[in-house]
Structure 1
Amino acid sequence: MAYELIAAVDLGSNSFRLQVGRIVANQIYPLDGLKEPVRLAAGLTADKRLDAAAQHRGVAALSRFAERLRDFDQGAVRAVATNTLRVAKNASQFLEKAEAALGFPIEVIAGREEARLIYLGVAHTLANPQTRQLVVDIGGGSTEFIIGQNIDPIHLESLYMGCVSFSLRFFPEGRVDKRSFKEAELAARRELQTIVHAYRETGWDEAIGSSGTAKAIVDLLELNGFSDHGLTREGLEKLRNELLHAGEASRMKLQGLRADRIPVLPGGLAIMSAIFKEFGLERMAFSEGALRLGVLYDQLGRYHHDDLREATVNRFMQRYEVDRRQAARVAHTALGLLNQLVPASHEAEHPDAQFLVWAARLHEVGISVAHSSYHKHSAYIIANADMPGFSRRDQARLSRLVLAHRGKLERAQPLRGEAPEWTLIFCLRTAVLLHRSRDDQPLPPRSAAFTRNGFQVKLGAEGLDALPLTAAALDDEAQQWSGIGSELRIHRDA
């Protein structure tokens, strides 16, 4: 599908943001954007649950975004959520309300996937992308670190420290003194020590900051004469002294100090100061590109058949030495069954068809661990590995499909009521069963249809008579569906 306008929504731990972009000749030109200082991370309770007030702020902000997006097609908008919704125990409850308010699905992305998208956004703003960049993005609940060159990341990391979480932890009620600032800085340096050696060993030519914290600090340094351009070690020291002298960010008399940044400035400044010290930086430039622009360019790649998820699936097949011929057989047959059941799945990039094919191609990755219960190993790998391009929800969906491709159907009970998922499970299980011989022997003619309470498969009797093991397995499969209150009718055509 070709779109002229696309949009990205970023549910950050500090702010929610909307960015609309126009596609012109495979480039994205940012148009209008909206920002809401939700401070979602401030609503995390001690037991990692989002309180009602934070949820209300978030839903209200998304309702306002929905007004701007009301004329957008579903495929033209991508919404992603970051650290706070990665860690909140009641994230699913909030997301249900959030999606209803926004009118579009929301993906919770892993930390390294967030880092990848940040770098993709920054890389498209660089004047000299051939040099090696260290990109730092201090968010509300996490900080991402990327070393990359051109549009290709080399290192991707996400650390659990952000301007909101550190401000709440070390500067409650906004008060700042030398002791609390030192404690915050040391805590950040301890986190950084887990990655700094590998990053320094790789090296970089230029350091770049992105997103709100870096932008806020750059503005304060430049507007108040602490730095001529960008972030500098000397400028950070001057800003730190100003903050300590004032005792609270709200008391600072500085140009460019925005009201929405006052509560989170101490934590953000402590983290940035620690980064300069641990990485040995003297200067850092600022880029307007970040997560939202990266999401837009990632969407653009999907529209033009340059979907990173395809590359990820191929890498997994290679890494886990998947039998590619068997995977192709299963994928072809499963997709053929889906096309019969859901004619719309013939369309290019139909989402259910994509997930079915990916599940078919990955269903045997667990064999690399052990043949016994390999479907469980496959499901675990898919659910827990870093899979660039896939959201957590995507990975969970793939994992559930793969887990259900063999064995007892009771394992798929949490999906009950989700009709498309049962359809995909039927297609995948049937395809795996039909290709149990793992050869290129032609399959009997077949067709699939829905029944009132399940599925029906018609198979050519002559071809099936030559496959007694497959025929017996199909009868057993019918018992599996009966066991969960559904049905699978097997018809043998004469």
Structure 2
Amino acid sequence: MGLDQTALNEAALARIEPGAPVAIIDIGSNSVRLVAYSGISRAPTPLYNEKVLCGLGRNVLSTGRLNEEAVRRALQALARFRVLCEAMHVGQVFVLATAAARDAENGPAFLEAAAAACGHPIELLSGRREAELSAYGVISGFHAPDGVVGDLGGGSLELVDVRGSAIGSGVTMPLGGLALQDLSGGSLKKARKIAAEALKKAGPQLDTLKGRTFYAVGGTWRALARLHQAARDYRLHVMHGYSIEPNDELSFLQVVEQSDAATLAAVESVSEARRPLLAYGAVVLEEVIRSGRPREIAISATGVREGLLFEKLDDAARARDPLLLAAAELNRLRCRSPGHGPELQAWTDAFMASLSTPETADERRLRHAACLLADVGWRTHPDYRGEQSLNVIAHASFVGIDHPGRAYLAVAVFFRHEGVAPEKASPLLRQLAGPRLFEQARLLGAVLRVAFPVSVAMEGILPRTPLAMRDGVIVLTLPQDLKDLASDRLSNRLRGLGRLLGVEARIEIAA
């Protein structure tokens, strides 16, 4: 008898908070994009993402008008997006327009036609408003951000300072790829001079960047980061949170500026319409690095659209941790007993508190996420559970986490299945995690290897079977009614944890 797919779908939906999707249509100077999300939440899940490179901002600064062919393509895309939103039963649609529609003399006429095509009113963002939403996007996507957000579109560059949840004043400049190409007459030498002069006037937005993070937002900079990964043979192809050292980036950007884009490694991953703008994006980023001297460049996949969703949350929702929320959702969808994840958090909290080496707050946060994700691979064939769990976690659409954190989560759950021998781990993920996080992942993996034979991933057992270091010995205590859980397999797992910490380990039966 076949499985009832409707019943399966309903069972899955019963584990997540129901609600109508929400969509944002972003009418930019280079692209017109639709992104539909699962809802307005602290960790929204993208359901559908489509863009059309229309080039609305091409030659706007020199002609003062939106190109007729670009307008036609944009209106055609907006009409399609209206139908797609209807097909997805989207509950709310927000439509934003940026620099090209703001600067062109025929912008008002275009916006009227665009509203008719997509069936929704359009908010025309000022430069200051665009900077604010970009900053909110970075706040929504990074854990405790501290630096300057730079959102490079086709028509403009917005810069704004962020410190935690606080946003400074923003500035906008006509340094988008299409605008710079137009202003420079296609000369990179002239484009560099224009960018350098404009950034000198940026004021506090760059003055405060020294030694902090520059958060790079926008499709052209994400495309450059993708090419940077290919050039460095970097195998974790996740854009969000990808971090680049400024001196390395400067040398790479110079290669981009001096090369034919068609010769760059992995350039086929960049649309042909965007390739001519790569060099202009490289020029602007190079000048930002030289002027601001940041500690690192962090690539952000969250920007204006996610900033708009974040803005609509109340203060309590904004304060929640997006990584832990996303991990909790995967736990509800994929794990055998969702309540087991929070019990694992508390169980490992008690064990870690009994050790002499304290965790940092960030390490505790990552451990809590790993506990929620520890059982996501249970449906996979036993021979592949470690590998599949690693792939799911390393490539998940998480925000609020950098690449070392991703590596920790993936490796910790991998070790839970495969054992904690360091040579079993991916060399790339080991390198990404760094020595301390890698050893923390081994420790958690060893602890999880004890937890699952005790609890079989079910709720209600771990709270009754504490694990702790007592007088230099790791002790797992079983109550009388669970004493038969003791076995050679469990003892071996416990001794493996002891060997990792260089101590003895034993099972005790409570009196």
- How high is the TM-score relative to the length of structure 1? 0.54
2:308 aligned with 1:295, yes or no? yes
CA contact 2:215–2:298 (8 Å) conserved in 1: yes
Please state whether the residue corresponding to 1:195 is helix, strand or coil. Answer: coil
Contact 2:148 2:162 in 1 (8 A): yes
Within 2, Cα distance between the matches of 1:10 and 1:24? 17
Q: Percent identity?
A: 25
Aligned equivalents of 2:252, 2:185: Cα separation in 1: 16
Aligned partner letter, 2:148? L
Pair 1:46–1:210, CA change in 2 (3 A): closer
SS at match of 2:63: coil
Alignment deviations for residues 399-443 of structure 1 (CA, whole Å, 9 cap, x no partner):
xxxxxxxxxxxxxxxxxxxxxxxxxxxxxxxxxxxxxxxxxxxxx
Deviations 1:208-227 (A, max 9, x none): 11121221111111111188
Instruction: Verify the 8 A CA contact 2:211 2:294 in the aligned structure 1.
Output: no
Q: Which residue of 1 aligns with 2:261?
A: 249
The structure 2 residue matched to 1:166, chosen from 176, 180, 188, is 180
Cα deviation per residue 1:427-482 (whole Å; 9 max; x = unaligned)?
xxxxxxxxxxxxxxxxxxxxxxxxxxxxxxxxxxxxxxxxxxxxxxxxxxxxxxxx
1:290 alignment partner AA: G
C-alpha displacement of 1:26 = 5.3
Match of 1:100 among 91, 116, 125: 116
Q: C-alpha displacement at 1:30, in angstroms?
A: 2.4
2:275 aligned with 1:262:
yes
What 5-or-longer segments of structure 1 have no aligned partner?
173-179, 306-494
- For residue 301 of structure 1, report the CA deviation from its aligned partner: 5.0
Gaps of 5+ in 2: 1-17, 236-241, 319-511
Instruction: Specify which of 81, 100, 108 is matched with residue 65 of structure 1.
Output: 81
Count of paired positions: 295
From the superposition, tell whether residues 201 and 244 of structure 1 become closer, same or farther in structure 2 (CA, over 3 Å): closer
1:190 & 1:266 partners in 2: Cα distance? 18
Q: Are the structure 2 counterparts of residues 301 and 102 from structure 1 closer, same or farther at C-alpha, using a change threshold of 3 Å?
A: farther
Which amino acid is 1:217 matched to?
A: L
User: Secondary structure at 2:113's aligned position in 1?
Assistant: helix
Tell me the amino acid that sits aligned with residue 11 of structure 1: I
- Residue 48 (structure 2) pairs with residue 32 (structure 1): yes
> C-alpha separation between the residues in 2 aligned to 1:114 and 1:193?
21
C-alpha separation in 1, matches of 2:43 and 2:218: 21
Q: How is 1:22-421 mapped onto 2 (pairs within 5 angstroms)? A: 22-23=38-39, 27-42=43-58, 44=60, 46-70=62-86, 76-127=92-143, 129=144, 131-170=145-184, 172=186, 180-197=187-204, 199-201=206-208, 205-225=212-232, 230-246=243-259, 248-252=260-264, 254-255=266-267, 256-281=269-294, 283-300=296-313
Could you tell me whether the CA contact under 8 Å between 1:14 and 1:139 is conserved in 2?
A: yes
With 190-199 and 57-66 compared, the bigger mean Cα shift is at: 190-199
Task: Please show how residues 447-458 of structure 1 align to structure 2 within 5 Å.
Answer: none
Superposed displacement of residue 43, structure 1: 5.2
| Residues 9 and 79 in structure 1, CA contact (< 8 A), matched pair in contact too | yes
* Separation (CA, whole Å) in 2 of partners of 1:258 and 1:171: 22
2:245·2:297 contact (CA, 8 Å) conserved in 1? yes
Partner secondary structure for residue 124 of structure 1: helix
Structure 2 residue identity aligned to 1:188? A
CA distance in 2, matches of 1:80, 1:279: 30
Question: How far apart are the structure 1 equivalents of 2:284 and 2:123?
Answer: 27
**TM-score calculated relative to the size of structure 2:** 0.53
CA change 1:147–1:198 in 2 (3 A) is closer
Whether 1:8 aligns to 2:29 is: no
Quick check: 1:111–1:157 contact (8 Å CA) kept in 2? Answer: yes
Distance change >3 Å, CA 197–CA 182, structure 1 → 2: farther
Change (3 A) 1:212 1:206: same
For the structure 1 residues 24 and 104, does the alpha-carbon distance in structure 2 shift closer, same or farther, using more than 3 Å as the test?
A: closer
| CA deviations over 1:282-315 (Å, ceiling 9, x no partner) | 520111111111122234459x99xxxxxxxxxx
* 1:211 partner letter: G
Distance of 2:42 and 2:249 partners within structure 1: 38
Deviations 1:367-420 (A, max 9, x none): xxxxxxxxxxxxxxxxxxxxxxxxxxxxxxxxxxxxxxxxxxxxxxxxxxxxxx
Counterpart-to-counterpart distance in 1, 2:210 and 2:87: 46
What RMSD over aligned residues (CA atoms) do the two structures have, in Å? 3.1
Higher mean C-alpha displacement, 160-169 vs 293-302: 293-302
The AA in structure 1 aligned to 2:81 is F
* Displacement after TM superposition at 1:138 (Å): 0.9
Report SS of the residue matched to 1:42.
coil
Alpha-carbon distance in structure 2 between the residues aligned to 1:221 and 1:123: 25
DSSP-derived class of the 1:107 partner: strand
For residue 111 of structure 1, report the CA deviation from its aligned partner: 0.5
Q: Which letter does structure 2 place at the counterpart of 1:170? A: S
1:267: Cα distance to partner?
Answer: 1.2
* Displacement after TM superposition at 1:68 (Å): 1.2
3-state SS, counterpart of residue 73 of structure 2: helix
Given that 1:21 and 1:296 are in contact with CA atoms closer than 8 Å, whether structure 2 keeps it comes out as no
Write out per-residue CA displacement over residues 316-337 of structure 1, whole angstroms, 9 at most, x where no aligned residue. xxxxxxxxxxxxxxxxxxxxxx
Give the whole-Å Cα distance in 1 for the aligned partners of 2:159 and 2:217.
11
CA contact (8 A) 2:210 2:295 kept: no
Q: Which residue of 2 aligns with 1:439?
A: none
CA shift digits 1:254-301 (9 cap, x unpaired): 454442321211211111111111111352011111111112223445
Distance 1:38 1:301 in 2: 35
Letter in 2 for 1:56: R
Amino acid at match of 1:135: V
